[in-house]
Amino acid sequence: MRPMLATLTDTVPQGAEWVHEVKWDGMRVIVEAKGGTLTVTSRTGRDVTVAYPELAPLAELYDDMVLDGELVALVDGRPSFAGLTERMHVTNARRAATLAGSRPVTLMAFDLLRLLGQDLTAQPWSARRQLLEQLDIDGPRWQVPPTHDDGRGLLAATAEQGLEGIVSKRRSAPYAAGRRSPDWRKRPHRDSESVVVGGWRRETGGTLLGSVLVGVPGPEGWDFVGRVGAGLAGRAGAAVLERLRPLERGGSPFASEVPREDVKGTTWVEPEVVIDVASLGRGSGRLRQPSYLRTRTDLTAADLWETTDG
């Protein structure tokens, strides 16, 4: 099952029909416990169970249960996506067990999709949430985070605490698996989006990565939206370049025209690597003062055709 996704909003919805939650900076997963076995699936449908052995005891709580939630790595009490990155693509069970001890994750379970053979996705959020809280499943590596009636107050509190933002949910909404729905609305604190990398340039006078050319889905293919250099110094840039080198191609992957000053010195790559960038929005179709935030190993380029906001 693919998770239900939230739409981006500039304003926090108000009124009794809405409830609000913290937006966690982590990795979205569907967790299924069945017959004593746990399966953890990423947003893209990949089985990542082996990477998170600390979640295995969840399977002992209920014989049949499906949860929707976010895996987070807590550093000094706050979610750190950088801290989670090392855990994401581990396929060796022994290595995963070692990391589970030194860099454990926590599952923030915020929805209940199935329980003891009963599909709950057609039920309103309020009914699913009531059942989830009645399960009383809080444990050392998983918890059911609280909800809040005051969305504006939660938005202010999460900004003060350095958290990513909030998600507002319509109490009467069913669970729309695999769809982006206006019944869930996300309000992050930073103006960020996920983009695909279509090319890279060396730093001036050097051999290391200096910037990447990025795009988003458009009517005829990938639309070029700018060049990103800030945030790519040092190890971050080296890690991105390592992923890009095997993807080199002969020409631009962008359907829209790339300005001559951006083409010069560019090595084109297949549009497969997805990164998050922060910016001041767009002007004339280009990102304003963009900076690299992170590589989205949990997203594929195909996912961007479902949404352009990540």
Active site residues: 23
Which amino acid, one-letter code, is at 96? Answer: A
CB atoms inside a 10 Å sphere around CB 219:
7
φ, ψ at 93 (rounded to 5°):
-60, -40
Q: Are 189 and 157 in contact (CB under 8 A)?
A: no
CB atoms inside a 10 Å sphere around CB 161:
10
Q: How many residues are given for the chain? A: 310
Distance CA 158, CA 165 (A): 6
Distance CA 273, CA 295 (A): 8
Distance CA 215, CA 219 (A): 12
